[in-house]
Amino acid sequence: MSREAMESRKPVRVALLQAGAGRDRDDNLQRQERLFQEAAEQGAEVICTQELFAAPYFCQEENVEAFRWAEAIDGPTVRFLRKQAQGAKAVVIGSFFERRAPGLFHNTAVVIDPAGTLLGCYRKMHIPDDPGYYEKYYFTPGDLGFRVWPTPAGRLGVLVCWDQWYPEAARLTALRGAEVLFYPSAIGWHPHEKENEGAAQADAWRTMQRSHAIANGCFVVAVNRVGREEGPGGRAIEFWGRSFVADPMGRVLAEASGEEGVLLADLDLGRIEEVRVHWPFLRDRRVDAYGEIAARYLG
């Protein structure tokens, strides 16, 4: 696309659906449907849910009963998302617990066009295993690589939650042509850590994703869940929300509070060309010197 064509593109309106989730799947879907309707009424062209929006965050413990939340890619949650895309006439990005085959599960995001057609999916590549985030018990690491989809709203790349801490994931997605990186997420505080570490943790999360926008000269859309979800033994996670959108210079264009709702932002995709001309990070990469990045450790 020429520079003139880039500069003439109209802004793209994105909607971030930030909500809580409980143990009633139907209630979770109804809650999201209200947010989809609000986003559509506000003219959203891309609508993105939080991570695992149709389920509670069951990864607080290793519990075989939680596999009941998993679905095939043609199951009810993806059918719901396809219906919402058609109703809103928008591109929809949604995250769900995929049952790929017996005993094989992924943390998956789907991309659906305004006609309700499933364009494809991304399977979360980086899987955490920390207190309260026992995702390795449930999810097989993704095997589709880093992907980008051309859509009526631009070239969109999708990564999921823990992926957001890895500059390699953002870079490889951007190198495939992504203009916007979407990060459906479920991140929060352990209540006993909040007083001493909470502010630093939330700031690190925000800073890391802003850095992806700057380093790659693209937009970043981070969509988080909200609410306190109880775990085993009296433990809990307080999901902090604070979904936000950053432009190619890392400026925060819109940011949510810790409450449920829809966050809107208008993305001027023509800014990508302008910023990359003045900050030519992709031009100046020493691709001849990076072979060792594939090593686990070089110390």
In a domain, 37, yes or no: yes
In a domain, 5, yes or no: no
Among 48, 59, 161, 218, which one carries the catalytic annotation? 161
What pLDDT does 193 receive? Answer: 87
What pLDDT does 9 receive? Answer: 76
Per-residue pLDDT for 85 more than 60? yes
What pLDDT does 4 receive? Answer: 53
Q: Where are the alpha helices (DSSP H) in 25-126?
A: 25-41, 76-88
In a domain, 6, yes or no: no
Per-residue pLDDT for 214 more than 80? yes
Long-range Cβ contact pairs of 291-299 (< 8 A, separation 24 or more): 293/168
Count of beta carbons in the 10 Å neighbourhood of residue 278:
9
- 278 is in which domain, residue-wise? 13-294
In a domain, 138, yes or no: yes
Active site residue 7: no
User: Exposure string (b/e) for 72-101, b if CB count within 10 Å is 16 or more?
Assistant: eeeeebbebbbebbbebebbbbbbbbbbee
Closest-CA residue to 13 (of 247, 264, 287): 264
Among 48, 124, 218, 229, which one carries the catalytic annotation? 124
Number of domains in the chain: 1
Q: What is the CATH number of the domain that holds 125?
A: 3.60.110.10
In a domain, 124, yes or no: yes
Active site residue 161: yes
In a domain, 299, yes or no: no
Active site residue 260: no
In a domain, 3, yes or no: no
Using pLDDT thresholds of 50, 70 and 90, give the confidence band for residue 18. very high
- Distance from the first to the final alpha carbon of the chain: 43
Residues 98-147: pLDDT tens digits?
A: 999 999 999 999 999 999 999 999 999 999 999 999 999 999 999 999 99
Cα Rg, the chain, nearest whole Å: 19
Per-residue pLDDT for 8 more than 90? no
In a domain, 133, yes or no: yes
Do residues 272 and 179 make contact, with C-beta atoms less than 8 angstroms apart? yes
Residues 143-167: pLDDT tens digits?
A: 999 999 999 999 999 999 999 999 9
Among 51, 135, 179, 273, which one carries the catalytic annotation? 51
Do residues 241 and 20 make contact, with C-beta atoms less than 8 angstroms apart? no
